[in-house]
Homo-oligomer: A and B are copies of this chain.
Amino acid sequence: MTFNVIGIDLPDEQNFWKIMRANMGKPPVLSTDENMNHVYKNAYENRNMMATYSTYAFSKADIVVIDINLDVKKRYVGNPYDYIFTYENFKSAIKTVADNISENTLVVIESTVPPGTTQKVIYPIFLESFRNRGLDINKLYLSYSYERVMPGPSYLSSIINFYRVYSGINKESKLKAKAFFESFINTKDYPLFELHSTTAAEMAKVLENSYRAMNIAFIQEWTEYAEKAHVNLFEVIEAIRVRPTHKNIMLPGFGVGGYCLTKDPLLANWSYQNLYNCDGTLKMSIDAVAVNDLMPDYTYSLLKQEVGVLKDKFITILGISYLGDVADTRHTPTDLFYDRCMREGAIVKLHDPLVGFWQERGLKVETDIKSLGDSRHDIAVFATRHKQYLTMSADDILSILPGVKVILDANNIINDDVAEKLSSNGIKMIGVGKGHWNSLRRNDG
C-alpha cells in the first residue's frame, strides 16, 4: 500500500535542515542504511512525501503517527533517583493534534512514555478537545505501538521485518491499528502482538529496555570482581552463553549511551509513583541506571591504577559514538570519561570515523585515522566498537599511534592475539573485563 505522507516537526533551527532534506528526497538525518536514501528518493520522485512545520495537515490525515520525544533530565550523573520529568511540551503537541484532526482519524502514539500515559494523559486531551469542538469522541481511534528500530545499516529493515506490539483504547482502535501495521510490516514472518491495553503496550517498551539496562549493570559488578580475581570475564561469559537460559547475559564494556536505556527505567518509575501512586521506587531498574551512568568511571579507574597522574599526558580516545558503526553521540559514555581526563589536565585527542563534530560538547573530532600518526600519544583508549577499530592489526595500531605506551581497551575491541603482539612491543595493555591481560596466556592456575 502507498500512503501520502506529510512529516511535521516544530519550527526550530535543527528541524529546518531536516525538513529541507526530506523535501529534497533525502533522509532527514544521515543514515548508514542505503535503503533510507533509496526510499526517500523514491518518495520524492513519486511526490507522495513532503515535510513541513504546518499543523494544518492534521485535519486532512486519515492516520496521525506521533513520535514526539518525552525526555527525562537527570540532575546529577550517577544519581538517577533525582530527575526532572514533565509532560508539558508533549501535552501541548498532543493538544495541537487533538484540536486539528477530524473524526475517524487513527492516532498512533509511538513515543516511549510512562505506562498509563495514553489512558490517563493523552485520551483526556482528545476527550476535552472533541467535546469543545462538538465532535464525537467515539469516532476517535487511539492506539499505542512502540518502535523497535535498530540504528545502523539495517534501519529500514528493522522496522519492516520485526515483531510489532500494539494496543488501542477500544476494539475499533485496535482493529484500525492492526490494519495499518499490516500494510507495511512483514507480519507473515513477524506476527503482530496485540495486547489487552495501551498501558500493557507502553509497559512492554520500558520493560524491555529496563531489562537490558539491568543486565548491563549486573555484569559491571562482576567485571570489577573478575578484575580483582585476575579472571578474564569474556571467556567465562562465553562458557555461560551456550546455555539457552543464559543467552542474553551481557559482556563487560565501556558504558551505556543512546536515548533509550539511559532514561526508560526512569519513565517507568515516574509512572509507578505518579500515575499509580505507588510508594517506593522500581529500585533494581533505577539502581541499574545509576551503575550504567557511572560505568566509564571504572575504565578511568583502571587507567589511573596503571598510569597514576594523568596531568599533561597525551590521551587519544578512539570512539565518540555510543554504539559501533553508528554516528550517535547522545549520552555517549565517552562524555564522562573525557570529562574525567580533562579535569585532571590530560591533553585529549578525539577520533571517530563517523563523528566529525561532537554536538553536545561543540568539539571537532578527527575522522581520518591515518592523520593520528602525526600526533603524540602516551595513552590510547579504544571506546567504541566501530568496525574500523575491530579489524586493525597490531602493525596498524603501532603505525597509527606511534610512541604509545599504554593501550586501554574499554570495549572488547582488541583481540587476544593483537594484544599479545602489542604487549611484546613493550606496550602496557589494559582491558575492561580482561583480567590481567598480560598474564592471560600463561597457565597460571
Contacts and interface: CB of A to CB of B under 8 A. Distances in A.
Interface string A222-242: 101110111111011111101
A119 B200 contact: no
Nearest to A236: B204
Given A174-B443, A195-B239, A200-B231, A278 B225 contact: yes
A287 B174 CA distance: 40
A interface residue count range (under 10 / 10 to 19 / 20 to 34 / 35 or more): 35 or more
A207 interface: yes
A199 interface: yes
A328 B126 CA distance: 55
A256 interface: no
A262 B104 CA distance: 55
Contacts of A304: none
Interface stretch (A71-79, A164-172, A313-321, A394-402): A164-172
A423 to B, nearest CB: 16
A347 B283 CA distance: 35
A196 interface: yes
Interface in A115-161: 115-116, 119, 123, 148
State the oligomeric state as a number of copies: 2
A169 B282 CA distance: 43
B282 A284 contact: no
Interface string A264-296: 000010011001101000111101100100000
B231 A115 contact: yes
Nearest to A240: B208
B193 A238 contact: yes
A231 B287 contact: no
Contacts of A193: 238-239, 242
A212 interface: yes
A211 interface: yes
Interface in A208-261: 208, 210-212, 214-215, 217-218, 221-222, 224-226, 228-233, 235-240, 242-249
B211 A246 contact: yes
B243 A196 contact: no
Interface in A160-210: 163, 165, 168-171, 174, 193, 195-200, 203-204, 207-208, 210
Question: Ordered nearest first, which 10 A-B pairs have the shortest CB separation?
Answer: A193-B239, A248-B248, A228-B276, A169-B445, A200-B231, A165-B239, A204-B236, A208-B240, A163-B242, A171-B443
Given A197-B231, A204-B240, A215-B215, 10 more contacts: A196-B435, A196-B443, A196-B444, A199-B229, A200-B232, A204-B236, A204-B239, A211-B240, A212-B246, A221-B283
